[in-house]
Structure 1
Amino acid sequence: MLTLPNLLTLSRILAVPFLGFLLWWPDWRLGYALAFVLYCIIGFTDYLDGYLARAQGAVSKLGQFLDPIADKIMVAAVILILTAQGYLRGPYVGDMHVIAGLVILIREIAVSGLREFLGGLQVSMPVSKLAKWKTTFQLVSLGAIILGGAVHGPPPGAESLVVRTLAEQWIHLVGLTSLWAAAILTCITGWDYLRVGLKHMD
């Protein structure tokens, strides 16, 4: 049962506390640089465990159970910590970028509950291409925000937010823009999944 793909998935879950530790101090640029490296490693193992499972014919029920959990744990932990440390802040709208992160978290919880409900009815809910784009934007956004912390440091206060962010924090801006793109796709794909679920809730 503990095949190599499953061990890689477990390693992603175990790496989340270390990722959180590195992100805990917003002014610690080295920590954010190390967090970015760890984040990339986690992302690579996410691709690798799926590839190995398919290539080796080792797709297991444990892997199918753990893989989405590992993804959601990491995304939720990173969004919450970046919010707490003031990194979901940007020009013009200030802290309202937190709303994009909140939309993503709500969708992840709702879709997980929906999958559990449909699983009991023996109804599968395959991942759509649009959902894969959502995941791509989501991973890019969080990675860019972490990298921005390593390169630029934390976002400035509200009094200099527009000038400094636009001039000096372009990586951070890429992250916030991608986060909103992920949030928009989250709403679209979440509604698509909900429509499938509603058909089985009579």
Structure 2
Amino acid sequence: MNIANKLTFLRIILVFVFMALIWWIPLSLELALWLALAVFIVASFTDFLDGYLARKLNLVTNLGKFMDPLADKCLVTVAMLALVDVGDLWLHYEWPAWILAIILLREFAVSGMRLIAVTKNIVVSANIWGKAKTIVQMVMIMVCLCPIQSSFMRPLGLFLTYLALVLTIISGVIYIWENKEVFKD
């Protein structure tokens, strides 16, 4: 297993560390948030680093092509579940579960399309819209997790939440439109 794939698997392990900090380890809310934020930042950085190393060192593998987006989806989904579950305790507003539902539906649709594409030997590559969506989602989660109380953080978190939603929808429509041949028999 190469270094890029090891970083991807590290990201999956960090998802469980994040979960433990938010839900299982009895810590003060502020300490749990700071630690979960740090874990999320490290895990997000591994997303950038594994892709960079895979391309730079020519370490792209089928395992990596499959596991990298799965690890991203696990990380982002668990973090957004945390925002829905306990976000009102530190965000002072309920993080909208319907936004998570739309994001998950998009992810299932695109992942399903990719599975069909594989059976037809069609490669569905990531595009700039999908990458922008992932970056905005990760930054939004970082802002929403940050326990700093200021008048600036809440509006920024809300703005990034809705921007992530818009980019999620746009990128999903573009992926399906650009790869509509996958659905032809």
TM-score range, shorter chain: 0.7 to 0.9
Calculate percent identity across the aligned residue pairs.
31
| In structure 2, distance between residues paired with 1:141 and 1:28 | 19
Gaps of 5+ in 2: none
**Residue in 2 aligned with 1:189?**
171
Comparing 35-44 and 79-88, the one that deviates more: 79-88
**Residue in 1 aligned with 2:40?**
39
**Does structure 2 conserve the Cα–Cα contact (< 8 Å) formed by 1:9 and 1:49?**
yes
**Cα distance, 1:90 vs. partner?**
7.0
Q: For residues 53-64 of structure 1, what are the structure 2 equivalents within 5 Å?
A: 53-64=54-65
**Does structure 2 conserve the Cα–Cα contact (< 8 Å) formed by 1:90 and 1:176?**
no
**Cα distance, 1:95 vs. partner?**
3.9
SS of 2:31 mapped into structure 1? helix
Determine whether 1:77 maps to 2:74.
no
| In structure 1, distance between residues paired with 2:17 and 2:64 | 22
**Does structure 1 conserve the Cα–Cα contact (< 8 Å) formed by 2:91 and 2:144?**
no
Determine whether 1:131 maps to 2:130.
yes
| Cα separation, partners in 2 of 1:6 and 1:88, compared to 1, 3 Å | farther
- Cα deviation code 1:30-50 (max 9, x no counterpart): 110111111111111111111
TM-score with structure 1 length normalisation? Answer: 0.81
Task: Write the letter of the residue equivalent to 1:194.
Answer: I
Gaps of 5+ in 1: 153-167
**Cα distance, 1:21 vs. partner?**
1.8
**Cα distance, 1:101 vs. partner?**
2.2
Task: Write the letter of the residue equivalent to 1:11.
Answer: L
| In structure 2, distance between residues paired with 1:169 and 1:135 | 26
Comparing 123-132 and 37-46, the one that deviates more: 123-132
**Cα distance, 1:96 vs. partner?**
6.8
- Cα deviation code 1:167-198 (max 9, x no counterpart): x4422331221111111111112112222444
Determine whether 1:151 maps to 2:148.
yes
| Cα separation, partners in 2 of 1:75 and 1:26, compared to 1, 3 Å | farther
| In structure 2, distance between residues paired with 1:143 and 1:26 | 19
TM-score with structure 2 length normalisation? Answer: 0.88
The number of aligned residues is: 182
Task: Write the letter of the residue equivalent to 2:60.
Answer: V
Structure possessing the higher radius of gyration over alpha carbons: 1
| In structure 2, distance between residues paired with 1:184 and 1:10 | 29
Determine whether 1:6 maps to 2:35.
no
| Cα separation, partners in 2 of 1:87 and 1:75, compared to 1, 3 Å | farther
Task: Write the letter of the residue equivalent to 1:29.
Answer: E
